[in-house]
Structure formats: C-alpha cells, structure tokens
Amino acid sequence: MKILIDGMGGDFAPEEIVKGAVKAAAEIEETVVIIGPEKAINDQLRHNRWHGENIEVVDATEVITNHETPAMAVRKKKDSTIVKGMNMLKEGEADVFISGGSTGALLAGGLVVLGRLKGIKRPAIAAWFPRIGKDGNTLLLDCGANVEAKPEYIFQNGLMGSIFVEGITGNSMPVVKLLNVGAEEGKGDELHKEAFNMLKAAGEAEQINFEGNLEGRDIVFGEADVVVTDGFSGNVFLKGSEGMALAIMKQFKSKLTEGIVAKAGAMLAYSKIKEIKDEFDYSDAGGAPILGLKGAVLKIHGNSEATEVYHAIKRAKDYVASDITGMIAEAVEKSAAVIGAKEEIED
Amino acid sequence: MKILIDGMGGDFAPEEIVKGAVKAAAEIEETVVIIGPEKAINDQLRHNRWHGENIEVVDATEVITNHETPAMAVRKKKDSTIVKGMNMLKEGEADVFISGGSTGALLAGGLVVLGRLKGIKRPAIAAWFPRIGKDGNTLLLDCGANVEAKPEYIFQNGLMGSIFVEGITGNSMPVVKLLNVGAEEGKGDELHKEAFNMLKAAGEAEQINFEGNLEGRDIVFGEADVVVTDGFSGNVFLKGSEGMALAIMKQFKSKLTEGIVAKAGAMLAYSKIKEIKDEFDYSDAGGAPILGLKGAVLKIHGNSEATEVYHAIKRAKDYVASDITGMIAEAVEKSAAVIGAKEEIED
C-alpha cells in the first residue's frame, strides 16, 4: 500500500507534514509517499534524521494556494502537488491521497482527474464534528461541495458517510440522521422532506441505520454518528458552531486573566480549561474524506501540525484496508431503486 | 399606548410574567395589559402587591401549548391568549403583543388574524444573537418562518430587520449582511445569489446599508447588525451555535469541579465564568419580533423570567413609539422596484 501525502498542503508545510510523515512511517510497514519540491522535502527528511526505507519523495514544483480559483488553478498548474497527486491516484501509483491544501482545489482536482464513482450524483466534502458525552466524532456531510443540492445528493451522503464511518471506526451500522429544523418527520423544505423519504427507504431496506431528523443543537451531544444535509446548510452549521466555540474560548481566556483573584483561579483551573479546548479541537480526528470520487482523498486542516498528519496517515491506512471506495460503489448500485427510475435516466 | 402581554406564555407563566409586568409598569406611564385566566393573573398581581393603575387584565381561558400543531390550535382555540391577543391588536385595543408562547402559534395566529403587511411576501421570525467585541446583539432573520424561501423573502428580511434595529437601538443605518458559504460576492446557491443582488440594489438606492456576504463564524464577532438568510439555514445556524455554546458551558462546569486543585481554581474564577455565561445569554435582549405582520408582535423565550419580561415591555414601548410597522410598510412600497415587476404580478 502506498499512502500519498501533499508535502506543500497547509500553513505549516513542508515542515510539519514531513515531521508527521516520519513519525507515522516509523510505525507502519506501508510506504509513505511525499509529493512536493524534491529538495525542500529531502531537506526536511534530513532535518528529521530519517533513515528508514518506507518514505519516497515525488517531485512536484507547483502549489495551489487558497487564494486561487480552484477550477482555474487545477487546469493551469499541471505540476502542482494536488493535480499530480490526483494523477498518481488515478494511475494506481498511490492508494490514498492526503492533503491540507485548498478544499476547493482538491474537489475540483478530484472531479477533473479522478471523476465520480459510477452512480454517484455528486461528491461530498465531509468533516468531523466534536462531540461530548460519547466517544469519537460525528461525520458531517456535505460541508459545501454542493450548495445547490438535490434530495438524491443528500441521500447518497447518508450511504457514503455510513460506509466511511463503519470502515474507519469499526462501528457497525452507525446512526445516520438528517439535519433539519425539527426532529419530527415531515419537517423542513421539500429538499429535506424528499431526502428524508429516500433515507427512510434505505433504512427500511437495511442499507443504512437511519434514525430520522435531528436539530443542529443535538449534533454536538452525539445523537448521530453521521449527519447529512445539503452543502449550504452543512457549511453554515459548521462555521456557525466553530465561531461560537472560538468566541467562548476567547472570552474565557480574556476573562480569566482579568484581575488578580481571577488570575489565581485561572492558573489553578488552567489544565482543565486546556482539556476542554482539546475536546472541541479537531486535531486528532485524522482527516475527513471527500467522498464519491474514484479514489480515496483525505483532507486535513490547513493548520495541521505533525500530530494531525500522523493520525491522518494512520487513518488513510484503514481507509484503504477497508476498501471503503469499493464498498461505496457497491452500495450505490444496490440503492439505485431508492432514487428511482427518473433519476437514473437523468444521470 | 397599550402594551399587551401573554400571561400564560412560557415555562414560568403566569408567575414570572406578572412579576416582570409589575416591575415594568411601575417605571412607565403606558398601560400594560395582561391576558390570561383572570383569577390566576389577579392572584399573582396581589402576590406582587400591585396597587398601581396602569395594569389591566383581560380574561382568556385557553392556552396553546408547544405540543399542538400551530395552525390547528389557532383555528380551534378562539379563547386562547394568543388568538385573543392577536384580535385585540387587530381591533386597536392594544399596540403591541408580547408572548413567550409557541412561536409557531404566534406566527400562525398572526397570519390568520392580522395578516401580512401590504407588499410583504412572507413574515419572518427574528432572533437576537449574542456577540463579543461589540455592544448589543445582532438581529438574525429568518429563523424558521419560511424554510422554503425565495430571494425576495430574504431581501425583505433585510429591509424589515434594518428598520427594526434602527427603531429599537437608534443605530442609524445598521450594517446588513447576507449569511452565505463565503464572504466574496458570487458565493452560494441561486437563492442566495439572487437575494444578494436585490440587497445590493437596495444598498445602492440607500434604502439599507448592505455590506455583502458573511460566513457563520463571523456573526458572533459582531460583523453585522442584521444578518439575513432563508428560514432553513437561519434555523440551522441558530440551533447549531446554541448547541455548541451549551456543550462548552457544560464541559466547563463539569471539568472545573473535577478534582480538588481545579475546584479551588474554579471557586476563584467562578465570578468570571458567570460573566461569560451571561454574555452568551439572551435574557436581556428583550424579545425578538415576528416582522411583516399588520401589527407589532414580540416573541420572548419560553424560559423567560421576570427580567426578560421587564426588558421586553420596555422594548415594546420603543417598538410602538418608533412606528416600526408603519416604516416597514413604507419601505416595502419604495423597494418594490428591486423585486421587479414579475413578482408584483404574482403577489
């Protein structure tokens, strides 16, 4: 197995990428391939005193930044880590591609180079959402790949998310719920009502473990393992929650250092506060997939440091070993009846 | 001026409603009318040793609960506080109606009894969102009245929200932004792109102070005074942020009381922690309006205590005094060109 990682993706690349790759490669037998400017990557490998044999370096001279229009950048920068990485996936020179680069470029590159899995209407961007009161994280999708959604996209998000979570966590038949404005059946706009019916049908056919609607406030309490919705509301939910977490942490930090009495208290309570910050942090989530492509792509945060890179490489191994992509292709075929004949003709 | 309040709306009615009404009535000259079962309300007035002259009680024997289907409950319970209250507004027997009852029933009652303001496509449910780094709160709408939205609804939310915030806070030409998946122009689905264009046109005509898109994570940092979107994503944003705030506060509470050292710290830091909780609390926001009805309706939280009731009555006074409803009607007429001729015919 070859695990490919984008040596230039993210704010702390290549330093933290290589550092994380070295740490992971020392623990696994699989080959880690780092793609990026050869000299810079090799310099970092030397800096990390790497003497092992399961890291390879593939040269790529260009980098796509977050400031570029994804579609255009993917077309122009043929020697970028993202485009070249996707091509390696396509040619079978790697089994999974990890990147902390532009999500838009990864999606665009994935669509152009790899293409969609047969039967998949649209690939989706997934994200891990922190939760309390229950181990692990919740997979949320779509987080913005398709802001103009159709019910069948949301339905397929349920299939794909369920298979991914089962493959990665070993949690058999994870609970899938639909993000909606109320928990009762019949809530929401036409888009979510129709998606509900499709998910329900797949649940009745035992293709997924669908347990109905849930409201945004219940996600963080772990009421589902997989939460599906359209790319617009998924994105709004994710960023809204993130803003709130940031704001509260910021206020805690500033208030607890205000005044001498409170400061003394803050010093004592500090270790606990850090624990909470870590709990609502995503660094050990190990990368979230772009699902529905003909290839395994894991996106890590742009601000990833070595620890997240390390976890992502280990997760990537499970991603490939569980043959998640193959299982999604199979599930899509089996569930074609749910979407209905009309849609099949359209496809 | 007569300020009407639902004596049975909310979890702590009638006790906290009457307590708050008594406190507010003692400070203002306007008449506060409490609607509810006469005996229960009068008992509470006695309990609060009310001897003033500007509280009136209007008898209503029924209550619509949160467990009823709003449209059906409104049709059946003619002697409920909500239906009777709306009728009093309609007949001019009150100038504004405050309630902590079912939002759905208030919306349904408002639509059936009062009806929409001329030119308003759909009324919207607004909510105050807490913010840090900037005084006051941000008005968010629509929070769920119309989950199936059209661009013109979102546009009119901008007009209505802007006028309401200006009338209540005195902040002339508040900053209006559109909730979207990115800050740049051209982001989002067709619905939000079209709403953007309408809002932009109204901005250019100086009807509102429209400053473009914003992402969910920026709302809590006070980047806008009025945030508009469709009822689905507004609801998802609001509940998602609420869940995250709840989860973090819960973790702080449990972590800080874990272990003796941390507990000592927590005791010292406790007052600061309470300050933060209050900052992200909505109790002094004083009620959020259902805008676009032929009458002024203020919704307070179902868990409102006397303090929120008190603030809501004071806010209701400003609501009426600024003639917000009249100004909205005028603004809608002026902005008809933005929505376009096609829509006018449809109306």
**DSSP classification of residue A53:** S
**DSSP classification of residue A188:** S
Q: Do A255 and B237 touch (CB under 8 A)?
A: no
More confident residue, B129 or A275: B129
Please compute the mean of the pLDDT values over residues B90-103 and round it to a whole number. Answer: 96
Q: Are A5 and A95 in contact (CB under 8 A)?
A: no
Residues B275-314 pLDDT 10s: 787 777 765 567 889 999 999 999 998 889 999 999 999 9
Instruction: Using the structure block, give the residue that is written with the tokens 């299939």.
Output: A159
Question: Distance between CA A198 and CA A202 in Å, rounded?
Answer: 6
More confident residue, B343 or B60: B60
pLDDT at B274: 78
* CATH numeric code, B129-285: 3.40.718.10
Question: Distance between CA A18 and CA A35 in Å, rounded?
Answer: 10
Task: Kindly identify which residue of chain B lies nearest to residue A132, measuring between CA atoms.
Answer: B247
CA distances from B183 to B143, B177, B213, B283 (A): 20, 10, 5, 30
Please compute the mean of the pLDDT values over residues A316-335 and round it to a whole number. Answer: 92
Please state, for a pLDDT cut of 70, what percent of chain B lies above it.
93
Cα-based torsion angle of the residue sequence A275, A276, A277, A280 in order, rounded to the nearest 10 degrees: 120
A35-44, A62-71, A220-229: least confident range: A62-71
Question: Distance between CA A6 and CA A20 in Å, rounded?
Answer: 12
Please compute the mean of the pLDDT values over residues A68-75 and round it to a whole number. Answer: 94
Indicate the residue type of A69: T
Cβ-Cβ contacts under 8 Å for B73 (sequence gap 6 or more): B64, B65, B80, B102, B105, B108
**DSSP classification of residue B117:** P
Q: Does B71 touch chain A (CB under 8 A)?
A: no
Residues B197-223 pLDDT 10s: 999 999 999 999 999 999 999 999 999
Q: Do B181 and A221 touch (CB under 8 A)?
A: no
pLDDT at A341: 43
Tokens standing for residue B106: 């208030």
Instruction: Using the structure block, give the residue that is written with the tokens 């800050």.
Output: B183
CA distances from A324 to A93, A159, A170, A199, B48 (A): 18, 11, 12, 20, 66
What's the whole-number average pLDDT of chain B? 91
Phi/psi of residue A153, nearest 5 degrees: -65, -45
A chain contacts of residue B149, beta-carbon cutoff 8 Å: 189
What number of residues does chain A have? 347
- Stretch 179-238 of chain A: residues touching chain B, C-beta under 8 Å: 179, 181, 188-190, 192, 215-221, 229, 231-233, 235-238
CATH classification for the domain delimited by A1-120+292-324, as one of 3.10.20.30, 3.40.718.10, 3.20.19.10, 3.40.50.1110: 3.40.718.10
The model's confidence at residue A347, banded by pLDDT at 50, 70 and 90, is very low
Task: Kindly identify which residue of chain A lies nearest to residue B146, measuring between CA atoms.
Answer: A189
Q: Do B272 and A256 touch (CB under 8 A)?
A: yes
Please compute the mean of the pLDDT values over residues A245-257 and round it to a whole number. Answer: 83
pLDDT at B133: 81
The model's confidence at residue B253, banded by pLDDT at 50, 70 and 90, is confident
- Domain limits, chain A: 1-120+292-324
Q: Which fold has domain B1-120+292-324+333-347?
A: Isopropylmalate Dehydrogenase (3.40.718)
Distance from CA of B188 to the nearest CA of A (A): 6
Q: pTM value?
A: 0.92
Please compute the mean of the pLDDT values over residues A50-75 and round it to a whole number. Answer: 95
Question: Distance between CA A22 and CA A309 in Å, rounded?
Answer: 10
- Residue B62: name the closest of B102, B110, B92 by CA: B102
Q: Strand A296-299: give its sheet, edge to edge.
A: A55-59, A31-36, A2-6, A96-99, A296-299, A288-291, A124-130, A137-141, A226-228, A175-179, A209-214
Q: Do B273 and A252 touch (CB under 8 A)?
A: yes
> Greatest CA span in chain A, whole angstroms?
70
Question: Distance between CA A99 and CA A88 in Å, rounded?
Answer: 14
Question: Distance between CA B129 and CA B241 in Å, rounded?
Answer: 10
The model's confidence at residue B261, banded by pLDDT at 50, 70 and 90, is low
- Residue A23: name the closest of A56, A58, A48, A59 by CA: A48
Q: Do domains B1-120+292-324+333-347 and B129-285 have the same CATH topology?
A: yes
Q: Per the omega criterion (within 30 degrees of 0), is the bond before B225 cis?
A: no
**Radius of gyration of chain A, Cα coordinates, nearest whole angstrom:** 21
Q: Do B265 and A268 touch (CB under 8 A)?
A: yes
Question: Residue B246 pLDDT more than 80?
Answer: yes
Collapsed DSSP state (helix, strand, coil) of residue A66: coil
pLDDT at B62: 97
pLDDT at A345: 43
pLDDT at B280: 78
Q: Do A275 and B262 touch (CB under 8 A)?
A: no
B interface test, pick of A132, A177, A181, A228 with most B CB neighbours within 10 Å: A181
pLDDT at A251: 85
Instruction: Using the structure block, give the residue that is written with the tokens 């709408």.
Output: B141
Question: Distance between CA B316 and CA B177 in Å, rounded?
Answer: 25
A interface test, pick of B148, B239, B256, B281 with most A CB neighbours within 10 Å: B239
Helix and strand element counts for chain B (H, E): 14, 11
Question: Residue B100 pLDDT more than 50?
Answer: yes
- Residue B144: name the closest of B234, B241, B66, B216 by CA: B234
- Is the ipTM higher than 0.85? The answer is yes
The model's confidence at residue A277, banded by pLDDT at 50, 70 and 90, is confident
Question: Distance between CA B50 and CA B42 in Å, rounded?
Answer: 9
Residue B136, number of CB atoms within 10 A of its CB: 16
Q: Are B156 and B334 in contact (CB under 8 A)?
A: no
Question: Residue B90 pLDDT more than 60?
Answer: yes
Please compute the mean of the pLDDT values over residues A33-57 and round it to a whole number. Answer: 97
Question: Distance between CA A292 and CA A328 in Å, rounded?
Answer: 8
Strand locations in B300-340, DSSP E?
Answer: none
Question: Distance between CA A213 and CA A178 in Å, rounded?
Answer: 5
Question: Residue A250 pLDDT more than 90?
Answer: no
Question: Distance between CA B190 and CA A191 in Å, rounded?
Answer: 14
Collapsed DSSP state (helix, strand, coil) of residue B80: strand
Question: Distance between CA A37 and CA B190 in Å, rounded?
Answer: 40
**DSSP classification of residue A101:** S
Question: Residue B272 pLDDT more than 90?
Answer: no
